Amino acid sequence: MTVKGIEKLCVVGAGKMGHQIAVCAALGGYSVTCTDTVPEMLREAEEFADTWLDSRVAKGKIAEAVANEARANLTFTSSLEKAASDADMVIEAIFEKLDLKRELFATLDSMCPTRAILATNSSYIVGSQIADATRRPDRVINMHFFNPALVMKLVEVVKGPEVSDETADTVMAVSRSLGKVPVLLAKEIYGFLINRLLDALNQEALYLHDMGVATYEDIDLAVVNALGHPMGPFRLMDLTGIDLSYLVRMELYRKTGDTRDKPSPTIVEKYTRGEWGERVGKGFYEYSKEK
């Protein structure tokens, strides 16, 4: 069931996170338009939606009528104005670069209805760093989904200093309407909840690897078999994207100037080689084209 006052959603960014968020919202009964400036990205996103919905029906996970309704709710376009001009809520899922997000939100502010909520799916950048690029700081909020968004239940909703209670309550309600389990952070903090915990583990795992204490395979085995995690830190970095790990650490380093915040030498090497993880076929591990 949709939330009162929120009927049309715009998802900006058709990458892995964006297109999965769009499908989630379409299944939730919202009219969703997913937009991207890269035609190939849009094509792949649309193909994913068709394939994924068909596979759910074939496996008996959802009824064919539900899949058909979700697909009818979902539109893809390269026109940001078309996607955002009548949206009640926008969810941004582009690269983790502050300047790009600020530029986008300023543009969205001029395009969207004044009532629209502008949410960022950023995993590290807090909304208040973006909000002053708009004239609606009370409606700019973090709505952080986890990868893969169609599977992971948690959504972190981060209430910045100028975010209204109404905006936070609405985003929490929208999250629940998508079948998610939202948690509300009453104040901003870099990395939010889960990524702060994961980052501590990842940085220590990278340090142990860089120092030659253990291989990444053995560190992953240890974390899975001793701590009970479903996958080790290196396998998880492959899944979420080594390029994302690099960009996030560089953004932090630019902010703090502390050399300890620089990305690990291993991450720099992987990033430079284009070995960005599962989606490109190679990261710490290799993946088949079918995968």
Q: Using DSSP, state whether 95 is helix, strand or coil.
A: coil
Whether residue 229 lies in the annotated active site: no
DSSP state of 118: E
Catalytic residue among 31, 46, 144, 275: 144
Q: Catalytic annotation on 225?
A: no
Catalytic residue among 31, 122, 195, 245: 195
Strand partners, 32: 9, 74
Helices 233-240 and 242-256, axial angle in degrees (round to 10): 90
Residue 288: per-residue pLDDT: 84
- The reported pTM is 0.84
pLDDT value for 157? 98
The pLDDT value recorded for residue 289 is 66
Q: Could you say which of 31, 73, 123, 202 is catalytic?
A: 123
pLDDT at 96: 87
User: What's residue 255's pLDDT?
Assistant: 86
Positions of the chain with pLDDT lower than 70, given as ranges: 289-291
The CATH number of the structural domain formed by 195-280 is 1.10.1040.10
Q: What local confidence, expressed as pLDDT, does residue 190 receive?
A: 87
209 is known as an active-site residue: no
| 123 catalytically annotated | yes
Task: Classify 161 as helix, strand or coil.
Answer: coil
Decide: 284 and 235 in contact? Cβ < 8 Å: yes
Report the distance separating Cα 71 and Cα 66, nearest Å: 9
Query: What pLDDT score was predicted for residue 222?
Result: 98
Q: Where do the domains of the chain lie?
A: 8-185, 195-280
Three-point CA angle 256, 260, 265, nearest 5°: 125
Given 46, 92, 96, 156, the catalytic residue: 156
**8-185: which CATH number, 3.90.1150.10, 3.40.50.720, 2.60.40.10, 3.40.50.10800?**
3.40.50.720
Read off the DSSP letter of residue 261. Answer: G
* Residue 285 CA: distances (Å) to CA of 273, 275, 276, 282: 14, 9, 10, 6
